Amino acid sequence: MENFINELDQEFRENILQYWIDHTQDFERGGFYGQILHDNTIVKDAPKGSVLNARILWTFSVAYQHYQKAEYLEMARRAYEYIQKFFIDKEFGGVYWMLDADGKAIETKKQIYAIGFTIYAMAEYYKATKDQEALDTAMKLFLDIEEHSFDKYYNGYFEACTREWDILEDLRLSEKDANEKKTMNTHLHILEAYTALYRVHQDGLLKAQLRNLIIVFLEKIIDNRTANFNLFMEEDWTIKSNEVSFGHDIEGSWLLEEAAAILGDGMLLERVQEVCLRMVDVTLKHGIADDGSILNEAANGHIDDERHWWPQAEAMVGFVNAFQLTNKTSYLDAAKKNWEYIKANLINQSGEWYWRVDKNGVPNLEDDKVGPWKCPYHNGRACLEIIHRLKTMISVEAV
């Protein structure tokens, strides 16, 4: 475990964080570049996305907490100040979806997914700095979601609104998504946001809505027959898809357990842990290739066998979390095997990770290295989560 920790620590500091420090800061227009190609070519006029910027803020806020390195705090502050100045909608609340390269809002819709990530980032920035403005912003965004997105009739959260908070006709997070009013993905990232916010601010409404969200997952989003997530739902929770996202399943397994643990409800936690271990076991059975990598998706008997960067990162955390819960070394072995795959196939020698490779490990060079979705959050978080978790286990063993 100590060797595993050391390798992840080195990867996080020297390859991931250093890449974003060296290549992504936009010193001419402020903030960070919106797009960098696979060969490190900067697209200076590319739009700047709210999700990318929130994930940068989150990553460097937690990195500073762990390492106490001034350079990481400077990066976090840079992201924080840019978000506050340009992404926060001062008139109607929420955050803009997309800015142009100069910081002007060009897509003003309120995608709840993006607001969730901004809460997630603000909570960690507050934890790192104790800046009250960051906590106030996170709570204001939480109340925006609860006022405008929460479905008081059927429960759960609607996907997206106009700038003025009317429900959009086109609710899709991306072109590959179904145009449905409720999705697993948005609920999952509200869950992680509310968990992080509750960790630093024990608000009563926040606690109630976090608990409710966990119940929504148990009763509406997780398929109790298969232990997979249902991905797209109508307003009344009628299921509108049959795809399986292996990466989201394994990611959700540990995020749900983390959320339940923070509430201090033993019965709920026990229920969640049972379901989450089922999700891990199903992923191991159906979503892991012989080389230890996690496959992308499955639908209608077809397997998408590309290996994307973020499911590999989330798989490591999910397996380590299962190892913590059970002490079964088979889970730790799965995490280590996945890490060996990542080292051999996904880590880009010019910095950061490839977005995806095919089943033979050949990278797709049309993908961005930095973009609206390509960020330091999944792989950076995986490194830190596993470092913390394994160090805790080693400390307990030593006692």
pLDDT digits (tens, 9 = 90+) for 341-392: 999 999 999 999 999 999 999 999 999 999 999 999 999 999 999 999 999 9
Q: Phi and psi at residue 195, in whole multiples of 5°? A: -60, -50
- pLDDT over threshold 80, residue 291: yes
Number of structural domains the chain divides into:
1
Q: What percent of the chain has pLDDT over 90?
A: 94
Residues whose CB falls within 8 Å of the CB of residue 175, separated by 6 or more in sequence, listed in order:
none
| Three-class DSSP category at 244 | strand
pLDDT digits (tens, 9 = 90+) for 18-69: 999 999 999 999 999 999 999 999 999 999 999 999 999 999 999 999 999 9
Query: How many angstroms separate the CA atoms of 13 and 396, rounded?
Result: 26
Are 381 and 54 in contact, with CB atoms under 8 Å apart? no
- pLDDT over threshold 80, residue 397: no
Q: What is the band of 398 on the pLDDT scale with cuts at 50, 70, 90?
A: low
CATH code for position 204: 1.50.10.10
pLDDT value at residue 45: 98
- pLDDT over threshold 70, residue 399: no
pLDDT value at residue 364: 95
Secondary-structure breakdown of the chain: helix, strand, coil percentages, each rounded to the nearest 5: 55, 10, 30
Q: What is the band of 285 on the pLDDT scale with cuts at 50, 70, 90?
A: very high
pLDDT digits (tens, 9 = 90+) for 102-157: 999 999 999 999 999 999 999 999 999 999 999 999 999 999 999 999 999 999 99
Q: What is the band of 173 on the pLDDT scale with cuts at 50, 70, 90?
A: confident
Query: How many angstroms separate the CA atoms of 357 and 219, rounded?
Result: 35
Name the DSSP letter for residue 281. H
- pLDDT over threshold 90, residue 300: no
| Three-class DSSP category at 108 | coil
pTM: 0.97
30: left (phi over 0), alpha (psi -120 to 50) or beta: left
Q: What is the band of 179 on the pLDDT scale with cuts at 50, 70, 90?
A: confident
State the burial class of residue 396 (Cβ atoms within 10 Å of its Cβ: 0-12, 13-18, 19+): exposed
What mean pLDDT is reported for the chain? 96
Domain span at residue 284 reads: 2-398
Query: How many angstroms separate the CA atoms of 184 and 28, rounded?
Result: 38
pLDDT value at residue 63: 98
